[in-house]
Amino acid sequence: MAPGRVLVVGAGLGGIATALRLAVRGHSVTLLERGERIGGKMNRWQRDGYTFDTGPSLITMPEVFAELFSLAGADIHRQLQLRRLDPVASYRFADGSSFRYGQSLPLLQAELQREFPYDIEGFHRLMALGGRLFELSRRTFFADTPGEPPDPSMAGALKYMPLRHGWGNYDATVRSFVRDERLISFFGRYATYVGSSPYQAPATLLAIPYLEYAHGAWYFQGGLYSLVEALHALLLQYGVEIRCGASVSRIIQRNGGVAAVSLEDGMELDGDIVIFNGDSARLPMLLGESESPAEDRRSMSGFVMLLGIDGKLPTQPHHSVYFSDNYSLEFDQLNGITNGGPGFPEDPTVYVNMPSASDNTLAPPDCESLFIMANCPADDDWNEEKTQRARRLVLQRLQRSGFPDITDRIRVEQLWTPACISSAYDMPGGAIYGQDSHGWRNTFLRPANRHRRVRGLYRVGGSSHPGGGTPTVLLSAAIVDRLVERYEGA
């Protein structure tokens, strides 16, 4: 069978990567994006000489990115300046102590000895557990989608499954290895990387801190949107048609398979294969099966402040985290356990990304660009009062943690609420990762990459299998590429 015409709905990183893979394979590909430019959540905002990445701020597993470029006959190191971040981040705890998490093993060992002398062995044993869980995921979960015929070699990967801890609770498992509440909070932070609570997520997510520990944290000079720009050039090189401002209103089916998509302006585009790169909860609406998003347990969203400030912050690293006084209470408030319903916490843990510490192209001379984020529930109902309260509480936490007072130095500001994220990216409630990863079912049984009932329809991206995170989204694209080859005959 000759390669068919492919319509990719959504130009996030997953849609971009899938479009490129299928174009390299010889398909005619049209990439449809409802926004003004491609990239999805991996995007950029600029104002008065300040530049901000509005989504991911670092990558892990750089070899996955390099493989995509190599597939298209390009060398990522010729296209982009990729630099390893060391330290990965600085963590500031409520008691005023700090932990500088570096990539040099001798320096890391010294830092652990300084702050957590009784937990050094537990720290490394916990990372080793994460390594075993990652190896199992790499050979199974990351290699194919649930419900597809398994590769016989996957059975051999089960030897990596740590039966005692693999299916346990994330926080409880961490506590069985280390005792210091600060170090427990440090590990707990990684569950939020996929929009989940460490108190409800499974221990299998310990593969995430291991990834950063073993593979490092990396940054593209010029910001992560430079990755999108480089991929955009490759898409054009392989003849992908890119249509921005093209919002899809319906996926049209005939004889049990996809036939076309209808745009909001009334235009119809024929296609043999449709790749959906969007929130999986929206897909039933596009198929005409529902008038509202599918009900599922949503991941967390975020409250984001993009700040361009006057003057330098010479002691501030590229990445830093400022913990609340009570991490478990914070998640009780996020999940509505203590305050009658999910809400923004009274004392949020705050993440600060200051890329201008490593890249002076992102701010005017003697200035800094700051991306500041706190977790919050997915919620479309945000008003100005909620927004200003969240802003105040975030700045209060930073000041209480010893962050320099920047209130009078702000020259540029943009605030992103869950409602803004929901509107910009068509994600119900602004849930960044679709459904949460609470419990093994939500973690491992995310929406499958191949639609079970509609022939020629596939899902890719953070809300489908295998889940969120930039390298994982690229693995999702690789799975879809293989499925299309397997089922569409090209």
Neighbours of 168 (CB within 10 A): 17
Residues 326, 281: one domain? Answer: no
Please give the helix or strand (H or E) that residue 91 lies within, else none.
strand 89-92
Overall domain count for the chain: 3
Confidence category of residue 417, pLDDT binned at 50, 70, 90: very high
26, 27, 151 from 489: Cα distances, Å: 12, 11, 19
Could you tell me which of 398, 312, 324, 322 has the C-alpha nearest to residue 357?
A: 312
Residues 317, 385: one domain? Answer: yes
Q: Which of 198-202, 408-412, 435-439 has the lowest mean pLDDT?
A: 435-439
Domain of 233?
A: 5-42+59-69+222-296+436-488
Flag whether 195 is in a domain. yes
Task: Check which CATH number belongs to the domain holding 281 and give it.
Answer: 3.50.50.60
Flag whether 154 is in a domain. no
CA–CA dist 203, 222 (Å, integer): 35
**Residue 65 CB contacts under 8 Å (≥ 6 apart), including other chains:** 59, 76, 227, 471, 474
Residues 210, 289: one domain? Answer: no
- E strands present in 152-237: 218-220
Residues 252, 345: one domain? Answer: no
Confidence category of residue 291, pLDDT binned at 50, 70, 90: low
Residues 171, 115: one domain? Answer: yes
CA–CA dist 102, 90 (Å, integer): 9
Residues 336, 275: one domain? Answer: no
Q: Which of 77-91, 143-157, 445-459 has the lowest mean pLDDT?
A: 143-157
Flag whether 129 is in a domain. yes
What mean pLDDT is predicted for residues 32-48?
95
Length of the chain: 490
At 288 the three-state DSSP class reads coil
Flag whether 314 is in a domain. yes
Residues 233, 247: one domain? Answer: yes
The 10s digit of each residue's pLDDT in 203-252 is: 988 999 999 999 999 999 999 999 999 999 999 999 999 999 999 999 99
**Residue 136 CB contacts under 8 Å (≥ 6 apart), including other chains:** 157, 158, 160, 161, 166
- Percent of the chain predicted with pLDDT > 70: 89
Confidence category of residue 6, pLDDT binned at 50, 70, 90: very high
- The answer to whether residue 48 scores a pLDDT higher than 60 is yes
Task: Out of 428, 452, 480, pick the residue that ends a domain.
Answer: 428
Task: Out of 172, 189, 214, pick the residue that ends a domain.
Answer: 214
What mean pLDDT is predicted for residues 26-50?
96
Residues 291, 322: one domain? Answer: no
Burial bucket for residue 470 (CB in 10 Å: 0-12, 13-18, 19+):
buried
SS3 content of the chain, % helix, strand, coil (to 5): 40, 20, 40
Could you tell me which of 484, 341, 416, 294 has the C-alpha nearest to residue 43?
A: 416
- The answer to whether residue 150 scores a pLDDT higher than 80 is no
Residues 164, 271: one domain? Answer: no
Task: Out of 411, 428, 445, pick the residue that ends a domain.
Answer: 428
Flag whether 90 is in a domain. no
**Residue 223 CB contacts under 8 Å (≥ 6 apart), including other chains:** 44, 51, 52, 53, 355, 359, 362
pLDDT at 251: 96
Flag whether 268 is in a domain. yes
Task: Lay out the sheet containing 98-101: strands in order across.
Answer: 98-101, 89-92, 319-322, 350-353, 367-376, 301-310, 410-416
CA–CA dist 369, 364 (Å, integer): 9
Residues 422, 304: one domain? Answer: yes
The 10s digit of each residue's pLDDT in 252-286 is: 999 999 999 999 999 999 999 999 999 888 898 89
Helices (H), ranges, 401-469: 418-425, 439-444
Output the furthest CA–CA distance in the chain (Å, rounded).
66
Residues 446, 376: one domain? Answer: no
Mean pLDDT score of the chain: 89
DSSP 25: T
Residues 253, 192: one domain? Answer: no
Confidence category of residue 1, pLDDT binned at 50, 70, 90: very low
